Homo-oligomer: A and B are copies of this chain.
Amino acid sequence: MPPRTKPLRKDAQRNRDLLVTTARELFAARGLDVSLDEIARTAGVSSGTLYNHFPDRADLVEAVFADRVATVAEIAEHALAIADPWAGLVHFLERVCELQAADRGYNDLVSRRLPQAPPTEDHARGYELMVRIIDRARESGALRDDVTLEDMAFVTWGTARTVEATAGVRPQAWRRHLALMLDGLRATAARPLPEPPLRPEELADIMRACS
């Protein structure tokens, strides 16, 4: 659907796009903490223009990573297209972690709580698909039956930190971390867990929390 708002003037649209792509590159290379002034300068516009388009840093971050939710949903779809449920889960987690490893900004985004983009329909779709990936893997008997979708956050958070630490020295080290984690998620590895899973609302709180 076309956006309801009146279209931007064409130079304004050009500047906006420029800012987003510039920010995307800088975020990818150096993480989410790049200064907004530097982004504007690199894009060749004044800082006023940046603030005109994106009043808040979160607005810019949201614009830069707006497509990622859909990307994750697509990955989830591919994962569900794999016949073997366990292989599907592994595929999903590997691909998501690859996204993190390829983009320091995205890695920061999944790590830190940040902007809280308003929940979109892609969000809901991705969530549904992920639930199915987990359920299917669990019902197949490959995934341990005491883990939930929320436990996948541990995978994401953990590899995010490993990606950050090892990026300079061994960019693929996170694969080893992930593999160990995956071996712990197998039904055959299951031992009683010491703590109940995060409830969906708790995880939502964590994601939403800004600080």
**Which residues of A line the B interface, CB within 8 A?**
111, 113, 147, 151, 153-154, 157-162, 165-166, 168-170, 172-173, 175-177, 179-186, 188-191, 193-198, 202, 205-206, 209
Question: A206 to B169, Cβ gap below 8 A?
Answer: yes
Known contacts being A154-B158, A158-B162, is A198 close to B183, with CB within 8 Å?
Answer: no
Question: B190 to A175, Cβ gap below 8 A?
Answer: no
CA distance A68 to B170 in the complex (A): 27
CA distance A160 to B161 in the complex (A): 8
- Picked from B111, B170, B191, the residue with its CB within 8 Å of the CB of A179 is B191
Question: A195 to B179, Cβ gap below 8 A?
Answer: yes
Question: B175 to A184, Cβ gap below 8 A?
Answer: no
The prevalent SS among residues of A at the interface is helix
Instruction: Chain B residues near A206: list those with CB within 8 A.
Output: 165-166, 168-169
CA distance A202 to B167 in the complex (A): 11
CA distance A191 to B168 in the complex (A): 27
Instruction: Chain B residues near A202: list those with CB within 8 A.
Output: 169-170
Instruction: Chain B residues near A111: list those with CB within 8 A.
Output: 161, 165
Known contacts being A186-B189, A198-B166, is A180 close to B153, with CB within 8 Å?
Answer: no
CA distance A170 to B199 in the complex (A): 10
Instruction: Chain B residues near A189: list those with CB within 8 A.
Output: 183-184, 186, 188-189
Q: Which residue of B lies closest to A194 (CB)?
A: B175
A-B contact pairs, 7 of them (CB 8 A): A147-B180, A153-B165, A161-B161, A166-B206, A176-B195, A184-B185, A188-B188
